[in-house]
Amino acid sequence: MRIELVKRKNSSTTMAVLSPVIAVILTLISGAILFAIAGKDPIHGLYLFFIQPLTDSWSIQELIVKATPLVLIACGLAVCYLSNNWNIGAEGQFIFGALCGSFLPILFPDFDNWLTLPLMLVFGTLGGALWGLIPGVLKTRFNTNEILTSLMLVYVASLLLDYLVRGPWRDPDGYNFPESRIFSDSATMPLIDGRLSVSCLVAVAVVIVLALMLSKSLKGFEIRVMGESPRAGGFSGFSQKGLTLFSFAIAGGLAGLAGTMEVSSSLNQLLPSISPGYGFTAIIVAFLGRLNPIGILIAGLVLSLSYIGGESVQASMGISSKIASVIQGLLLCYVLVCDTFVLYQIRIVSTLRSGAQKEASDV
Amino acid sequence: MEQRAGKALLKASGLTKRFGDILANDSVDLTINEGEIHALLGENGAGKSTLVKMFYGSLEADAGSIEWSGEPVSIGNPAMARQLGIGMVFQHFSLFEALTVVENIALALPKPGNMSALSARIKEVSEDYGLPLDPADIVADLPVGIRQRIEIVRCLLQEPKLIIMDEPTSVLTPQEADRLFVTLKRLASEGCAVLYISHRLEEVKQICHHATILRHGKVVAECDPTKETAKSLAQLMVGSAVHLVNRSTSATKTGDVRLELIGLESPAQTPFGTSLQAIDLDVFAGEVVAIAGVAGNGQGELFDVISGEVRVKSDMLMIDGESAGRLNINERRQRNCAFVPEERLGHGAVPGMKLSKNIILTRHTTGEGIVQAGFVSDRRAAELEKKVQSEFDVRMSQPDPDAKSLSGGNLQKFVVGRELDRQPGVLVVNQPTWGVDAGAAALIRQGLIELAHSGSAVLVISQDLDEIFEIADRIAVISRGQLSDAEPVEEMTREKVGLLMAGGAEKHAPMTEGAA
């Protein structure tokens, strides 16, 4: 007996919309089982993980703070994935962007005026784009696999950050702690309330602009055509190499912007580690949000909840906050499984027919 | 019904197959006798492929029965069909591209044995039947015509009693086709039966002993094709008088040169592509020029160069008297050119996009209001899609469907109509009616001729000689990247074209690389 996936003739649009919802439900069920295995009350665990963070204003703010980088990065990644460029190095672009955004307040603390923050954001965006363009250029010029190169550059960027924070960029007044100097007020994002800064408004603006671009503009059309059928894209006069560079630059730029805003609002300094894996979690956000900016906004909040929920169960139940990573991984897995079943159906083939596998599947 | 020689080899009674709402085969009766070349005729979608897939075991009938040499059989899978002695040559080849010829053939044989012995046998059989093959070639490097030979030889090696052939001559030169016919006749004289599916009625008349005609999944007629005319066969197929292409004889090259290739050269784009060498061609306003040739002789490369997907030196290509070799495809479209590539799905149209989106594909820079300030007007695109649909009779099951859900003929009407609708000054079409049913083909050809009559220059690249002689004013032949002079159709014969196809078109010593 052999199991085959057969492409469905008509894949249901309803199911395509429902599939992330089903994935979330399956994740909840698996989460409950995990809690039960750990010897905790599953219902109470799920409550602490998914519901309690929504019940007080502090954690709702935190939810938005953590969703902001996820949404920004995932929007850029959506452009990459729609155009068939598999950038999984957003974490590196986030870190390198943050470095480029922070050199101004760290190396030139005396340049401290109203221009500081806008310049930081511009440098951060450009830096992230530059880091993203490296795998882009390698792909278009040397035909390298962008999955490998973009991923490997994550480690380069994160070690570079580590080196700078422990070495040249260490705070001279910081008692040798591996951290940079604290940013001045003109180098930090204005706060709205509590920990909530204007970063989240920037993310919403990016969502709106990208949603318009992808659904209404010729560029959005180009991205979709190239993603589905590069030959037809060339016939339409679009350049595949140009679009590869464009999408890596957009994704890198948004990740860099997210990185800069993260260090200039939540952290206010550089630390050896500035991201709890936002760049990787954003991949889940992008797919859970159907590569659609509006969907990504919602998915970003869901994944952000998993971070806070992890902390919440660690604090209240003594379960490791690594549970958050497990839940995130399960969620991505279920999203991909559900998507596969929306597009394909399972067929069980008896081995009696195995002599004719090729023709049977070809015809 | 007339008397037929031989005893029944395969007898199908009441075969029925339903796909959803569509009755693909409606209680089909068919008898194939030993040593008979049996034509299966019908338009695209008439149910021919469904029927032969049931014979070959790759589809299961919903009702009906099959007898093989008088014994009822159930053909559960292709291996079983092969065991009975049924071989099949597919229209869409089922070959592994990364493997060599001999490896592909070995995979299909129950006991392939020693590879070098098999190679020798392939060489022997293929040359014996006039279809020479090099067993060590990798399939990916081979043009379509050769790939088909592999399929045929693979079939022959299994010493079948019945060979099913799905449009076998569509990729062959007339001479190659003639050689295939000799092969088929020899097989028939040895007692092997052939079920021959073709659109080409002249061929059917020439070699087939008996014909079964399907329409909408039903057998509508059986006849002896030698006693019919091509026209009467076509009428049986489409069920009504065939709309023959109306071509006025007055078309002459009175106008100006609109498209000019001057010593055009282009290196092969891939290691196994064809390089174009010193190609000269003028296409005048008001005429249809056709380029004939066997698949894989540089047609695709020539199309890419003319469309601008591959650039050449500026002066090698002139549009309306201006150098255009360096222009990209959209700049050429803005100079009122239009292009229809060979591949409908994946090149001419994006499979998973709606037709209205596919309108945008070739018309977003032509100043028709589809794109304003970088934004796409879906409303305008939908308007144009409806216009193309009604003007070119594109039939669809729902409004604005995905391109991939249309049948080949309807999608081809759409991709050709999308360009004709613009009334371009220069139209270049590669394989305008490849795999398209007779009705759609006539409509498309008529559209091309009318466009030329309105003062445009039309260049058609085609492997279908019937089509070329039907619509062309002048004919040139491409062979290994070289083009013969375009000669008026009155001075061309099939034989002459065939000789040019077989190498007579080459004016220069062939280059060693890339030639297949």
Q: How far is C-alpha B327 from the geometric centre of its chain's CA atoms? A: 30
Element (H, E) at B93: none
- State whether B351 and A236 contact (CB < 8 Å): no
**A349: helix, strand or coil:** strand
CB contact under 8 A, B346 and A232: yes
Write down the domain spans for chain A: 1-40+321-363, 67-318
B349 touches chain A (CB under 8 A): yes
Contact B302, B478 (CB under 8 A): yes
Interchain contact, B348 vs A235, CB within 8 Å: yes
Beta-strand (E) ranges in B294-381?
317-319, 322-323, 337-340, 371-372, 375-376
Residues of chain A contacting residue B329, judged by C-beta atoms under 8 Å apart:
234-237
Domain spans, chain B = 8-238, 257-504
Tokens of A157: 């960027």
B454 phi and psi angles, rounded to 5 deg: -80, 5
Confidence of residue B493 (pLDDT cuts 50, 70, 90): confident
Element (H, E) at A10: none
Query: Which residues on chain B are in Cβ contact (under 8 Å) with A356?
Result: 57-58, 77-80
**Sign, CA torsion B128/B132/B134/B137:** negative
Outline where B274-377 has alpha helix (H).
Answer: 299-307, 329-334, 355-363
From chain A, the residues in CB contact with B362 under 8 A are 235-236
Site from A82, A221, A352 to mutate, B interface, most B CB atoms within 10 angstroms:
A221
pLDDT of residue B45: 65
Select from A228, A237, A358 the Cβ nearest to the Cβ of B352: A228
For chain A, the C-alpha Rg in angstroms (whole number) is 22
Q: Do B364 and A216 touch (CB under 8 A)?
A: no
Using pLDDT thresholds of 50, 70 and 90, give the confidence band for residue A361.
very low
- Cα angle: A305, vertex A308, A312; to 5 degrees: 125
Was domain B8-238 assigned CATH 3.30.479.10? Answer: no
Average of per-residue pLDDT across B229-249: 66
Classify strands A344-349 and B322-323 as parallel, antiparallel or unpaired: unpaired
Residues in chain A closer than 8 A to B92 (CB atoms): 362
- For the segment A335-359, the average pLDDT, to the nearest whole number, is 69
Each residue's pLDDT tens digit, A99-110: 999 999 999 988
Phi first, then psi, for residue B481 (nearest 5°) are: 80, 5
Kindly report the average pLDDT of chain B as a whole number.
85
Confidence of residue A125 (pLDDT cuts 50, 70, 90): very high
Of B90, B110, B376, the CB nearest to A217: B376
β-strands B37-41, B193-197 pairing = parallel
Q: DSSP character for B218?
A: E
Chain A and chain B share a number of CB contacts under 8 A equal to 95
Neighbours of B383 (CB within 10 A): 16
Q: How many residues does chain B have?
A: 516
CB pairs under 8 A, 24+ apart, for B506-514? B506/B479, B506/B480, B506/B482, B507/B278, B507/B482, B508/B277, B508/B278, B508/B482, B510/B480, B510/B482, B511/B275, B511/B277, B511/B481, B513/B268, B513/B275, B514/B268, B514/B271, B514/B272, B514/B273, B514/B274, B514/B275, B514/B481
| B257-504 shares the fold of B8-238 | yes
Quote the pLDDT of residue B347. 92
A225, A226, A229: best mutation site toward chain B, by most B Cβ within 10 Å? Answer: A229
Q: How far is Cα A124 from Cα A130, in angstroms, rounded to an integer?
A: 10
Q: Determine the residue of chain A that is closest to B349 in CA distance.
A: A232
Q: Which residues in chain B are contacts of A353 at CB distance < 8 A? A: 76-77, 79
Superfamily of domain B257-504: P-loop containing nucleotide triphosphate hydrolases (3.40.50.300)
Q: Which residues are A345's β-sheet partners? A: A6
- Chain B residues inside the 8 Å CB shell of A216: 375-376
The residues, any chain, with a CB within 8 Å of residue A41's CB and separated by 6 or more, are: A35
> Does an H or E element contain A286, and which?
helix A278-288
Asked whether residue A297 carries a pLDDT value surpassing 50, the answer given is yes
- Contacts B53 to A, Cβ<8 Å: 363
Q: pLDDT tens digit string along B416-472?
A: 999 999 999 999 999 998 777 778 888 999 999 999 999 999 999 998 788 888 899
Reported residue count of chain A is 363
**pLDDT for res B48:** 85
- What is the CATH topology of the domain spanning A67-318? ABC transporter involved in vitamin B12 uptake, BtuC (1.10.3470)
Running DSSP on this structure, what letter comes out for residue A276? S
